[in-house]
Homo-oligomer: A and B are copies of this chain.
């Protein structure tokens, strides 16, 4: 009868401390999203497969979780397919719905479907889980949260500026040191042209995107394998090795790409964004990085990526501009730009650095020991008063041994324990133990309140 309970691989339970810490991250990001004028939306976990399929490449299609149709689903599959046990073909007939793979495609679908109810430019944020049938491994899960902010319906570079400021504000709030890397897809396109392979922008960007991970030699090897000429690869090297501050990088680049309108356009866009930022006081460095490509070929302008400076981990936030995201659903010429925070990686970074604020995992401020019926009633009324003041408080519900009650307070990380026996009731006093120091003193109700407020 009794089963040994477990959960599907690649998924996770979150204990109270973990959930509270995750909420600290979500709340920090959400607060900034709102302050910058982004509005929340939510979309269903399940989308029609017709919405999802073909949007993430062949590999992505395979990673979709599909929902088995209800009822007599096999009757809709031709017998010969079943007999041949052709899973790939049958899948399309057994399932019409799938779990969302990211928040971007559902967002595009949402914008098209609700276009008449929305104010454009539409600034939305969305914090929801996504699902991928990826092979689970350390730091990669089958269910994880994305925290996205996008503006669609505006091609102003003020949006890029604002998103960069927003990123800086979030990581400043989280007390994490980061570098914000930017690039522009137009520059990458111009470089492809410059080295004589204008048709290979994707191959080239995918390869140079790996520079950090695999090194220059391996990147060159990959470029060669993709059919880039030796001459082209050689022409690319100085660009990959550009040094100095943003201004000097842009200067060198302007020389290299002098004859490319697209290239100069990309350079001008970056300069304009940096100009908007010139009067803002960012905590993080914004660094032009020409090797930043983010492999996503729907980006058409700015490319953004954030790296933590204190630990080695992949990007913890990224984004960019896309000129035609809603086109796949029939709404053309709507430019957008957006970013996505990787909450799970941010969690890992904060944990490694031990940088979660203590309050993030604390709920109840004071536990009232339970001595018996008479004391219970007295404690209950004090707890009611505290709660009315917005202070989280509990009476231990059972008349258990003192040791057990104190151990409960300890495990729960409750900072104060109040003991009230007959004497205390008679004198209207509270014996208050501060759990961190172990000190104990007799206090009035008001003194209890102020001790808690001082500690908070």
- A: residues with CB less than 8 A from B are 1-8, 11-16, 19-20, 22-23, 34-48, 50-51, 62, 65-68, 70-75, 77, 79, 82-83, 85-87, 90-91, 94-97, 99, 109-110, 112-114, 117-121, 123-124, 129, 131, 133, 142-143, 151, 154-156, 158-159, 161-162, 165, 169, 276, 279-280, 327-330, 363-364, 370, 376-377, 380-381, 384, 387, 390-395, 397-399, 407-408, 411-412
A116 to chain B, nearest CB (A): 11
A-B contact pairs, 28 of them (CB 8 A): A3-B50, A3-B51, A4-B330, A7-B51, A7-B113, A14-B43, A16-B41, A19-B42, A34-B363, A35-B391, A35-B392, A36-B387, A37-B364, A45-B45, A45-B99, A45-B143, A46-B143, A66-B68, A73-B87, A74-B87, A79-B85, A119-B411, A119-B412, A120-B408, A121-B408, A123-B394, A162-B397, A276-B380
A65: chain B residues at CB < 8 Å are: 46, 67-68, 70
Q: Is the CB of A154 within 8 A of B398?
A: yes
A67 to B69, CA, bound (A): 9
A280 to chain B, nearest CB (A): 6
For A414, give the chain B residue with the smallest CB separation: B37
Q: Is the CB of A5 within 8 A of B376?
A: no
Interface of A is mostly: mixed
Q: Is the CB of B165 within 8 A of A384?
A: yes
For A366, give the chain B residue with the smallest CB separation: B37
A83: chain B residues at CB < 8 Å are: 79, 82-83
Sort A-B residue pairs by CB-CB distance and give the 8 closest, nearest first. Answer: A2-B330, A16-B39, A11-B44, A156-B397, A119-B411, A37-B394, A82-B82, A19-B40
Q: Is the CB of A91 within 8 A of B79?
A: no
A342 to chain B, nearest CB (A): 17
Q: Is the CB of B2 within 8 A of A328?
A: yes
For A108, give the chain B residue with the smallest CB separation: B5
For A119, give the chain B residue with the smallest CB separation: B411
A287 to chain B, nearest CB (A): 21
A165 to B385, CA, bound (A): 13
Q: Is the CB of B15 within 8 A of A114?
A: yes
Q: Say whether, besides A5-B329, A82-B83, A330-B2, A397 and B151 are in contact (CB < 8 Å).
A: yes
A15: chain B residues at CB < 8 Å are: 41, 114, 117-118
Q: Say whether, besides A119-B408, A158-B380, A47 and B4 are in contact (CB < 8 Å).
A: no
Q: Is the CB of A8 within 8 A of B380?
A: no
Q: Say whether, besides A5-B112, A43-B13, A110-B13, A156 and B398 are in contact (CB < 8 Å).
A: yes
Q: Is the CB of A398 within 8 A of B330?
A: no
Q: Is the CB of B45 within 8 A of A72?
A: no
Q: Say whether, besides A86-B74, A119-B412, A46 and B8 are in contact (CB < 8 Å).
A: yes
A380: chain B residues at CB < 8 Å are: 158, 161, 276, 279-280
A165: chain B residues at CB < 8 Å are: 384
Q: Is the CB of B8 within 8 A of A20?
A: no
Contact of A44 among B12, B66, B86 (CB under 8 A): B12
Q: Say whether, besides A37-B364, A41-B15, A363-B34, A51 and B5 are in contact (CB < 8 Å).
A: yes
Q: Is the CB of B40 within 8 A of A16?
A: yes
A412 to B330, CA, bound (A): 25
Contact of A36 among B82, B96, B392 (CB under 8 A): B392
A399: chain B residues at CB < 8 Å are: 156
A327 to B143, CA, bound (A): 28
A123 to B411, CA, bound (A): 13
Q: Is the CB of A85 within 8 A of B75?
A: yes
A12: chain B residues at CB < 8 Å are: 44
Q: Is the CB of A7 within 8 A of B121?
A: no
